[in-house]
A and B are shown apart, each in its own frame.
Chain A
C-alpha cells in the first residue's frame, strides 16, 4: 500500500525562526502532493499543492514546498514563523487519481 511519512511528530521553533517540515512518500507514478494545516478542533485547510511543473510551489500564509522526485520528498518551509502558525500540519499524496493518503501529522509549537 502507498504510504506517507512525516518523521517529526512534534517540532518547536522560536517565533521568527525558519521552519522545515519533512514529508516522504512511497514511490508511485508522479503523484499529486499537498500540505494541509489544522487548528485544534477544526477541519483541514489547504496550504499548497503540487501537480506538475516547477518543483518549488508557493502557498498561502508565506509557506512554500519543494518536490524532490529523487528523494520522494515534499518538504514544507517557511522563512520566518509567526505565533499564529502553531497548528498541526499534514502532508497528503493523491495516488492513481483515486487514493489520497495522509501522513500522521506534525504538531508545530511556536515559542515567543
Chain B
C-alpha cells in the first residue's frame, strides 16, 4: 500500500520541550510539505522540501525546524521557541512542486501544556 504515514496520532508534551513529528512516504515523491491546521484557519504551510537535503520556509516557519536526509522522510521538530504549538499537524507529498495535487497523511495532534 502506497501512502503517507505520520506518527504518533496524538502527542503530549510539556511546555519548553522540543518534540519531533514523524512523516514517511513510500510514493516515491520528490516534494514533501508540513502544514499546521487550527480551527477556522485552514492549512498554513510551515516548511516544504523539493529534493533531499533541501528545504524552504513556508508562511509560519518560526519555532519549527525540519530535515530531509532521505527521500522518504521529512520529520518536523517543534521547538520550545514556538509560542503556540498546540495544533493539528499534517504532512503531505507530491511528485514535485507544481506537479499536481498533494497527498496527505492522517495527521498528528500535538498538545502542549
Q: Is B45 an interface residue (CB 8 A)?
A: yes
Residues of B within 8 A of A46 (CB): 101, 103
Contact of B101 (CB < 8 Å), options: A34, A96, A104 = A34
A-B contact pairs, 9 of them (CB 8 A): A36-B104, A43-B105, A90-B42, A90-B43, A94-B98, A97-B97, A100-B45, A102-B43, A104-B42
Interchain CA distance A7-B35 in the complex, whole Å: 22
Chain A 42-80 residues near chain B, CB threshold 8 A:
42-46, 49, 51
Listed in ascending order, the chain A residues whose CB lies under 8 Å from chain B are 4, 9, 32, 34, 36, 41-46, 49, 51, 90, 94, 96-98, 100, 102-105
- Total interface residues on B, CB under 8 Å, equals 23
With A43-B90, A43-B106 already in contact, the answer to whether A102 and B97 are too (CB < 8 A) is no
Q: Which residue of A lies closest to B91 (CB)?
A: A43
Count how many pairs of residues, one from A and one from B, have CB atoms less than 8 Å apart in the complex: 47
**Contact status A49-B98, CB under 8 Å:** no
Interchain CA distance A51-B100 in the complex, whole Å: 8
Q: Is B2 an interface residue (CB 8 A)?
A: no
**Contact status A43-B107, CB under 8 Å:** yes
Contact of B102 (CB < 8 Å), options: A9, A100, A103, A104 = A100
**Contact status A102-B98, CB under 8 Å:** no
Q: Is B109 an interface residue (CB 8 A)?
A: yes
Interchain CA distance A51-B99 in the complex, whole Å: 10
